[in-house]
Chain A
Amino acid sequence: MNITSRGKSKMGNVFVLLGVLIAVIWAFSPFYWAIISSFKLPKDTFTISYIPFFQFEPTLQNWINEINFRGREIWNGIKNSIIVSISASLLALFLGTMAGYALARFNFQKMKNKDIAVFFLSQRILPPVVMVIPFFLIMKSLKLLDTRLALILINTIFSLPFAVLIMRSIFKELPAELEEAALVDGCSRYSAFLRVLLPLAVPGLVATALICLAFTWNEFLFALVLTYKKAVTMPIVIAGTAHTRGVDFWYVATRSLFAIIPPTVIAIALQKFIVRGLTFGAVKG
């Protein structure tokens, strides 16, 4: 619902619009800067030019260079990022959907449901740096350093709270009568869950997977510690070279966009679900 600004002056509306405009420009300007820098030739970089075609001639050269000369490195990063984030998200979704269902439909006695929910939330509250040293040493002794498996496991841990708690809130909204009817018809709990409830939760499942995907894609600390060559993800590929070439705007911009584009595209797809996703189902949007 909205406040209708009836009775307020036209001036008020102008101020509102101005505020909205400033906010949007503020939010979008770093993206805009990255995009125009990636289309600039090195010679145009240090000139004051923000409007393509008028102030500088946009070129695809940076993108072509990046793909031609450093394509293998980038492709390796993208491939690892895709494999790690999809596997971790699916694993988290699998475990989380089941646990979310249990929390939404059953009553646990020894530990109350809300305490179990907080237990899952606590994995997200845990500062990653607390886990990074033991995880490094354990993966080292298991000879799993620089493997995608190590990254998949750790990212599943940090995605699981999202999956459990979001799915819990989704199942809570679906009426229990649906499964009860199926149970009366002779279905087992499992098939009632699989055949009746799960199909209804598909939009929520997709959205949950997407939110896990975006955050796993962006994960940096563990990728930095656990990988060095074969299993490096996209954020590490950027980190590996950008420091030495910090002032090569065109180069940094093109590279950064390779990392930034996938999760922001996901964000657009997630719009309807974004509030519930970000608050672990605690606030409906």
Chain B
Amino acid sequence: MIFNREKNVKFVFLLPAVIFILTLVIFPLVYSLRLSFCLARFGKNPIFIGLENYIDLLKDYKFWDTLKITLIFVLLTVSTEFFLGLALALLFNREIRGRRYFRALLTLPMFATPVAIGYLGMTIFYEEAGPINNILALIGGPQKVPWLSNPTLAFVSISLLDIWQWTPFCFVILLAGLQSLPEQVHEAASLDGVSGIQSLRYIILPLLEPVIVIVLLLRIVEAFKVFDIPFSLTGGGPGRATEFYSLFTYRTGLKYFNFGYASSLAYILLAIVILIITLFLKRVREVFE
């Protein structure tokens, strides 16, 4: 090599991954950005129509519906997962015999194939003789709750599965964060005269902030992607009650083959996610310092 070898070594290590991403991610992204300005349907050449897709989209009540339920879903599931996860982490942050095994059991839901969980959910929430309605009847609760045929309850069912699957994520990471705090913090927190809530609010949570940022960021981003469970559990129904953003975009593009319109939908989602990331960006950069 003619150049300074030492200087080039770092690029030899870094570039393969960067080139891989540039060709396989950036190129498709540019391609679909172009599509979003086109009338592009299956088997026809795309025609440039400028911003028309985006204008149509703003007038499309389906777009606003799906955006609304997706935002509610993200807020509802992420906040529930976070607070449940935090409560569990605080609960586990002490000597418990066999804690390692309990923690291991609690991490399993995250890894269970989501689409399989969705189908399993069809049996779990089954109206006639599913286990949930069985148990509700057994303890004298409401009879034959229409989990999957009532729009609100279908939304709740999907949220419950998501909460089941991802509360463990918040839990293990927050627990790791708690356990990495120095001993003195917990000692200070357990001083006489400081209530549990106060020490949590003024001592523990502020110290835990970097970890909380990571947990929330990753969960919010993942929650926006939700696809597998609504696809398999309700298919977006009843009606369009659980047609979350990714599912709506997928159907527009790959079921009705309206590629241009679907691309503009996708880009709006990307813009929303980028907007959220930007709020976190400074903190995230610090974490990867």
Contact = CB atoms under 8 A, between A and B. Distances in A.
Interface stretch (A52-60, A61-69, A157-165, A199-207): A157-165
B249 A2 contact: no
A274 interface: yes
A118 B285 contact: yes
B64 to A, nearest CB: 18
Interface residues of B, number: 105
Interface secondary structure of B, over-half rule = helix
Interface string B267-278: 101100100010
A221 B227 contact: yes
Given A2-B95, A46-B129, A99-B17, A283 B168 contact: no
A194 to B, nearest CB: 12
Interface in B70-108: 88, 91-96, 100, 102-108
Interface residues of A, number: 106
A131 B25 contact: yes
Interface of A: 1-5, 16-17, 19-20, 23-24, 26-28, 30-31, 33-34, 37, 45-46, 48, 50, 95-96, 98-99, 101-103, 105-106, 108, 113-138, 153-154, 156-157, 160, 164-165, 189-190, 193, 214, 217-218, 220-221, 224-225, 234-235, 238-239, 242-243, 246-247, 249, 252-253, 255-257, 259-260, 263-264, 266-268, 271, 274-275, 278-279, 282-285
Interface of B: 5-6, 9-14, 16-18, 20-21, 24-25, 27-29, 31-32, 35, 88, 91-96, 100, 102-117, 119-120, 122-124, 126, 128-129, 131, 134, 138, 164, 168-169, 172-173, 176-177, 179-183, 186, 189-190, 211, 214-215, 218, 221, 224-225, 227-228, 231-232, 235, 245-246, 249-250, 253-254, 259, 262-263, 266-267, 269-270, 273, 277, 281, 284-289
